[in-house]
């Protein structure tokens, strides 16, 4: 029975592989987005840009809030790619 089902599902194997790869990429991206080191680096870059005069105080506050919201906000449960 396993051999027959393997032969019958062989045509959809590339589709399953692409879906698996998409899920793997999505997991990696989510881990990187929520990584504390990445968040700290982004906050430091925002501070440096503000100190160099490339950001106004409002832009700095909005950028920091966006980074912190991404860290705090739970996943929205969006469907995978």
Mean pLDDT by 10 residues, the chain (81 residues): 80 91 93 88 95 95 91 60 50
> Could you give the 3-state DSSP secondary structure of residue 16?
helix
Please report the pLDDT score of residue 51 as a whole number. Answer: 96
DSSP string over 26-72: HHHHHHHHT-HHHHHHHHHHHHHHHHTTSS-HHHHHHHHHHHHHHHH
Please report the pLDDT score of residue 75 as a whole number. Answer: 56
Angle between helices 36-51 and 57-72 (to 10 degrees): 180
List Cβ neighbours of 39 (8 Å cut-off, separation of 6 or more): 67, 68, 70, 71
What predicted TM-score, i.e. pTM, was given to this entire model? 0.58
């Amino acid at each position: 029975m396993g051999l027959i089902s393997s032969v019958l599902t062989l045509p959809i194997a590339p589709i399953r592989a692409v879906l698996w790869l998409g899920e793997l990429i999505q997991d990696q991206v989510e881990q990187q987005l929520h990584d504390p080191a990445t968040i700290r680096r982004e906050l430091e870059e925002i501070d440096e840009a503000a100190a160099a005069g490339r950001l106004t105080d409002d832009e700095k506050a909005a950028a920091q809030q966006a980074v912190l919201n991404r860290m705090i906000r739970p996943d929205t449960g969006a469907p995978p790619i």
